[in-house]
Amino acid sequence: MPAKQVREVLQWMQSVHKDVCSRFESLGTHVENERVRLLLDYIEGKEKLLAQSLKQYEEDAPDSVLATWVQFYPDEVQDRRRLLEDLEDDSTLDGVVEHCQQVDRALIKACQTIAEESDCDQVSGLFTSLARLEENMDHLYSKALLDI
């Protein structure tokens, strides 16, 4: 559990979303199942939006907040991220959904933990807001699944 500056955590979270996006973009070029392809396209768009939102948070946050040190909990997210590498081109819809949701849940948990343990109200508020953003996108994602 290393200590990182808030800026580094935000950049790391952006990289997670970009990596997930790239993985699903790559899977989408090889998938023949139309439902799975639609889901991959949706996930790709969601991940791009989250990466852009995190970039905006980084740009809008005061330097004093970005320079604040926090305990960082990347392990579960890293483990879930590695699972994405195991997805095959012929992955089932359920498999794709489960892997994506595991990464989302791990990111939400990491944000919540940082928010709860931070002594700085601004940092706590930032990570609480990020957890809500991730949760809201996860809810939208769940609703979209019903349409696919």
DSSP tag of 92: -
Type of residue at 95: G
Asked whether the beta carbons of 21 and 52 are under 8 A apart, the reply is no
Residue pLDDT, tens place only, 81-127: 776 666 665 567 677 778 788 888 889 999 999 999 999 999 999 99
Between CA 73 and CA 143 the distance in angstroms is 29
Condensed to tens digits (0 to 9), the pLDDT of residues 2-60 reads 889 999 999 999 988 888 888 878 777 877 778 777 878 888 888 899 999 999 999 99
Specify the 3-state DSSP secondary structure of 107: helix
